[in-house]
Structure 1
Amino acid sequence: MDRILRNLIAWQRADGPAASARALGVERARARYLANAALPRRAGAGPRDAVTSVDETVATPDGAAIRCRVYTPETDRGRVVTFLHGGGWTLGDVDSHDQACRIVAGALGAVVVSADYRRAPEFPYPTPLLDAVAAARWTARRFPGHDHVLAGDSAGASLAVGVALHARDAGEPGFAAQLLLYPPVDPRLLFAAASPYADGYLLSVDDMAYHYELYLPDARRREDPAVDLLGADLRNLPPTVVATAEFDPLHDEGVELADKLAVAGVPVRHVPGPGLVHGYFLMQDIVPAAAACSERVLEELDALLRPEPAPVEYAEALGGV
């Protein structure tokens, strides 16, 4: 494992078992999550420095409203990303993922719309998913003609697939691609419980069990296709990049999802994260290995979005005109 990550794990677990999400409780866990995400970033961080942002208000189907932060890169390549933050459907917000969204915007030349969907336990499933659907629809209306990408990390990746399934089943316009960073897709936690990294690597199986309990207080909803994604019909979903981390209890279910997408006929690229832990996309400024892997993830997504080159004979014909 990366040396810096070892030190990070030791620091976070310094207070002992009380550092678990269940022991901390929702409010303290939220505060810790945001504080960790706000660690100082590198100076001279490249394209993200030229990204500007503004907060917008987006209406939801139940008459409420959520905040969406819109990031605009210096160079707009005709792409827009609806980004759904992680945090177990309970933690995280647009502030915790601010730098991550700036990185995505700068690297892809894409407008990024980060959705501050309502969280459990105050708003359990399906409210976070319906807010995510509303954010994606708003993004499509606001930026017509752009290649529309769904992206999310952890719980946000699960929501991203749920949005794609909802759009497909409703006959709505599809998405150009989706980016799923270490997604939780097995609410039974069978894969995670069998993982050799089920505890002691920042995210534990008990953390995931706690978040599922808050997100899905009605355990019967765990069988919904938008939750049990390994049991869902994955046909006709957008081309997908799935990123996993080696020392992550969710690693094996992420690999399983990539395999199932491929079997369903979805173009999929799996990017492994050797030596890394769950949440590494938020650690790019303090863990060089996380930054390198994140760069590769975005390169794979960029490759999915690039148009196929013209056939050689057609290109030669154009050159002869």
Structure 2
Amino acid sequence: MIVLHRLARLLVVLVVVTFLSFVLLNLLPGDPVTQILGLSATEESRARLRQELGLDQPLLVRYLDWLGGLAGGDFGTSYITRMPVGAELAERLPVTLELLVAAQIVALGLAVPVGVAAARRAGRALDQALTALSFALLSTPVFVLGVLLILLFAVTWRVVPATGWTSLSVDLGWNLTSVVLPAVTLGCGQFAVYARLLRTDLIATLQEDYITLARARGLSPRRILWRHALRPSAITLITAVGLNLGALIGGTVIIETLFGLPGVGRLIVDSIFSRDYLTVQGGVVLISVGYVVVNFAVDLVYAAVDPRIRRA
């Protein structure tokens, strides 16, 4: 029942999101015909191309035609490149996925030890420093942080390149070099959220009766913290990871454009400017499906982390 409910929810989300994005794109000034032929094209050639692309049909008819093709696995053909949208997305998707995974690794890799250390020293200097750092990172827009990191690590110290991308299959070392700065930029805001959530939950968990009993049994503070307190305190963190993936996906649009990464986010931005409606629609579908699937996976992880949820 849960799976069927999630699938129904996914379908509703896809229809609503894709229809709204389709309408909004068509409300923008300009069209693909102008992008392809230019402003000097004759009205006859423009009408012929518009008919060839199907743009002479009513908006609802075009949307329903596209939706019918999507049900059969056909994302359509790009107006600009004349390439299958599905093939373009498949080519760009590994870049975006690697960026998302790397950003989460950065965020969680920093948040867990920092959050645990702050919880153990609540109210002390480290905890106060974490609070100040969290507010600073959360109040800094991701593109501003990206520019600052580029100026510092790429321009001033020349440790990593400012832009560009090397595929993982081509060279592992250069791939890590090209992904590290975008991943840090994207993950810093999430690190601040995760560390504060984990710190707050850990402080509350350490005051539970079973923790007091564990101390009375003579268990070491390290064992109590990492084995008995961290696991139940991770429930909220897991929720945040799942929900914030949507924010990360949105952030990839900015990050990929800023750092020149050939991912899905940059493809969507380029397609918006070129009025390539079908490519934008394909990207919207991909992002929507990913968001709903991740949230479904979070629900399954709950049961593994806390057996009480499974019994409920």
Greater fraction helix: 2
TM-score (norm 2): 0.22
Greater fraction strand: 1
| Structure having greater relative contact order (Cα 8 Å, sep ≥ 6) | 2
TM-score (norm 1): 0.22
